[in-house]
């Protein structure tokens, strides 16, 4: 099962860190921004099950779909066509982690086509994902241990990403 979510495309989102500011000369960013609080919902489950809190994503509920080095001209052309557009994307409700960061897999053929039209690969380097949060240095051991438990007891499916067509699609009102 995957869950349908709607969001708005935002090109050149506000720079919220020094890293974003320093990379803005050569790296371009675009995101799907949502009004949902799914990241808070999942972070609450992680805190209640494993006893540690995750830092919230700086930009709130979003999916980064461009974080790439590309020509300013190609980026601006894509921005003029797609900025502000509403899209549907699909979230796999099973959380994923690398021990520090926690996220949900995202499917969005429309965004893959946007990337391709802008001269990028259909899939970004880190794949499309919906960030739940990340563990700070003080909580990293707890987060890594939680991931280890999830894997040991098969609470997280570590298999490769399945095609979107293999999932049943649900909307919020159907859950």
pLDDT score, position 160 = 78
**pLDDT tens track, the chain, 175 positions:** 999 999 999 999 887 777 667 767 678 999 999 998 999 999 999 999 999 999 999 888 999 999 989 999 999 999 999 999 999 999 999 999 999 999 999 999 999 999 999 999 999 988 999 999 999 989 999 999 999 998 888 877 767 788 888 889 888 666 5
pLDDT score, position 171 = 83
How many structural domains comprise the chain? 1
pLDDT score, position 123 = 92
Residue 15 CB partners (closer than 8 Å, separation 6+): 21, 24
pLDDT score, position 162 = 84
* Range(s) of the domain holding residue 159: 2-174
């Amino acid at each position: 099962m995957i869950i349908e979510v709607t969001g708005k495309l935002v090109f050149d989102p506000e720079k919220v860190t020094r890293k974003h500011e320093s990379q803005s000369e050569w790296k371009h960013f675009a995101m799907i921004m949502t009004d949902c609080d799914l990241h808070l919902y999942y972070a609450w489950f992680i805190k209640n099950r494993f006893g540690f809190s995750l830092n919230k994503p700086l930009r709130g509920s979003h999916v980064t779909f461009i974080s790439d080095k590309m020509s300013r001209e190609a980026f601006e052309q894509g921005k003029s066509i797609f900025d502000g557009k509403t899209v549907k994307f699909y979230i796999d409700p099973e959380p994923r982690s690398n021990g520090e960061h926690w996220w949900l897999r995202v499917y969005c053929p429309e965004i893959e086509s946007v990337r391709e039209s802008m001269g990028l690969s259909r899939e970004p380097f880190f794949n499309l994902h919906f960030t739940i949060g990340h563990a700070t240095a003080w909580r990293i051991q707890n987060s890594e241990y939680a991931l280890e438990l999830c894997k040991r007891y098969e609470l997280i499916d570590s298999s490769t990403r399945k095609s979107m067509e293999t999932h049943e699609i649900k909307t919020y009102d159907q859950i």
